[in-house]
Structure 1
Amino acid sequence: MPDHPQNRFEVRPLSEEDGGGWLVTFPDLPGCMADGSSIAEAVSEAADAERSWLETRKALRVPEASGRFVLRLPKTLHADLGLRAKQEGVSMNTLAVAVLARALGAEEPPGGSSGKTFGQRRRLTLPEGIPGP
Structure 2
Amino acid sequence: MTYYVAIVEEEEGKAVGVWFPDLPGCVSAGDTVDEAMTNAAEALALWIDVAEESGRPIPAPRTLTELKRVPEVAEDLVRYMVALIPFRPLRHAA
TM-score, normalised to structure 1's length? 0.42
1:131 — aligned with what?
none
Alpha-carbon RMSD: 2.5
Name structure 2 gaps, 5 residues minimum. 61-68, 75-94
Name structure 1 gaps, 5 residues minimum. 67-97, 109-133
CA–CA distance in structure 1, aligned partners of residues 50 and 73 of structure 2: 29
TM-superposed deviation, 1:63: 2.1
1:10 lines up with 2:3 in the alignment: no
Instruction: Tell me the SS of whatever aligns to 2:8.
Output: strand
Counterpart code for 1:49: A
Q: 1:23 to 1:51 in 2, by over 3 A?
A: same
TM-superposed deviation, 1:55: 0.1
1:76-126 Cα shifts (integer Å, max 9, x gaps): xxxxxxxxxxxxxxxxxxxxxx7xx66xxx264xxxxxxxxxxxxxxxxxx
1:43 lines up with 2:37 in the alignment: yes
Looking at both structures, which has the greater relative contact order when contacts are Cα pairs under 8 Å and sequence separation is at least 6?
2
Instruction: Tell me the SS of whatever aligns to 1:8.
Output: strand
1:34 lines up with 2:28 in the alignment: yes
Instruction: Tell me the SS of whatever aligns to 2:41.
Output: helix
Deviates further, 5-14 or 52-61? 5-14
CA–CA distance in structure 2, aligned partners of residues 38 and 65 of structure 1: 28
Q: 1:38 to 1:53 in 2, by over 3 A?
A: same
CA–CA distance in structure 1, aligned partners of residues 4 and 59 of structure 2: 15
* Percent of aligned pairs sharing the same letter: 26
TM-score, normalised to structure 2's length? 0.57
CA–CA distance in structure 1, aligned partners of residues 33 and 12 of structure 2: 14
Q: Describe how 1:65-76 pairs up with structure 2 within 5 A.
A: none
